[in-house]
């Protein structure tokens, strides 16, 4: 039987997203920026052949419209308390429809590709397993694939990697940690924008930022070494 694996992407309001970039981007620019990042993530997911479906958890009209353009399902974010609760609700919903594996990932990973997703799925072995892709500082988790769904609680607060590893050990799950630069780069700080510009990606998010830089609307941000 073909596995029924789904991806889940939680998305908050574009208007309130990326507040830590407010010194660099205006409110309107952050909205467009957030939409571009979501496009890049959904575009990668749309090309991942081994997924049975994609569910976006959101109340954001722009995210709903974009998800529908890709033919993905949308689940209303009833709690509005953040990605952890949104993913928990999606996992519960998908389990009632026979889903046997959930890939939870953040919507601010513009460098992610379908090849990254396939690599993550390939590395995942067993019916009781957890595969994690950490953030660049290795404190948080940017993507987590779990079989069965809900085998461990998923916490996405920028500091969840250690909790995920501990929970996986407690559950007796086969556990894999994949360090993938294109998945590790989430865009929260100005230095993350600098790292994005230093890539050769043709993603929509980089094109948007590069347009702002080239037109003088924002300065080019020096590359800084991140700590932690």
119-174: pLDDT as tens digits: 999 999 889 999 999 999 999 999 999 999 999 999 998 899 999 999 999 999 99
- One DSSP character per residue, 135-193 reads -TTSSSEEEEEEESTTSS----SS--HHHHHHHHHHHT-EEEE---HHHH----SHHHH
**pLDDT over threshold 60, residue 36:** yes
Q: What is the CA radius of gyration of the chain?
A: 17
What pLDDT does residue 74 have? 98
The arithmetic mean of pLDDT across residues 6-13, rounded, is 97
CB 106 within 8 A of CB 142: yes
- What is the predicted pLDDT for the residue at 226? 40
State whether the Cα torsion 68-4-203-194 is positive or negative: positive
Least confident range from 2-11, 52-61, 103-112: namely 2-11
| DSSP letter assigned to residue 106 | -
pLDDT at 79: 86
More confident residue, 183 or 125: 183
Of residues 51 and 228, more confidence is placed in 51
Residue 113 in this model has a pLDDT that exceeds 80? yes
Q: Note the pLDDT of residue 227.
A: 36
pLDDT in tens, 61-96: 999 999 999 999 999 999 888 999 999 999 999 999
Q: Which domains occur in the chain, in start order?
A: 5-214 (3.90.550.10)
pLDDT-derived band at 3 (thresholds 50, 70, 90) equals confident
The residue whose two tokens read 């070494």 is: 225
pTM: 0.94
> For residue 225, is pLDDT > 50?
no
């Amino acid at each position: 039987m073909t596995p029924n694996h789904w991806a889940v992407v939680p998305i908050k309001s574009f208007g309130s997203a990326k507040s830590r970039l407010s010194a660099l981007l205006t409110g309107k620019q952050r909205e467009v920026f957030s939409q571009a990042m979501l496009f890049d993530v959904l575009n990668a997911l749309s090309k991942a052949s081994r997924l049975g479906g994609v569910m976006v958890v959101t109340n954001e009209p722009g995210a709903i419209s974009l998800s529908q353009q890709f033919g993905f399902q949308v689940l209303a974010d009833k709690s509005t308390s953040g990605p952890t609760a949104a993913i928990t609700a999606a996992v519960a919903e998908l389990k009632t429809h026979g889903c046997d594996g959930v890939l939870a990932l953040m919507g601010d990973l513009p460098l992610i590709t379908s090849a990254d997703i396939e690599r993550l799925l390939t590395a995942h072995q067993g019916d009781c397993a957890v595969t994690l892709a950490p953030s660049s500082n290795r404190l948080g988790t940017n993507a987590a694939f779990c079989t069965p769904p809900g085998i461990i609680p998923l916490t996405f607060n920028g500091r969840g990697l250690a909790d995920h590893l501990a929970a996986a050990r407690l559950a007796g799950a086969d556990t894999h940690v994949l360090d993938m630069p294109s998945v590790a780069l989430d865009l929260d700080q100005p230095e993350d924008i600098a790292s994005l510009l230093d890539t050769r990606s043709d993603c929509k998010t980089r094109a948007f930022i590069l347009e702002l830089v080239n037109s003088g609307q924002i300065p080019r941000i020096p590359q800084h070494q991140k700590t932690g």
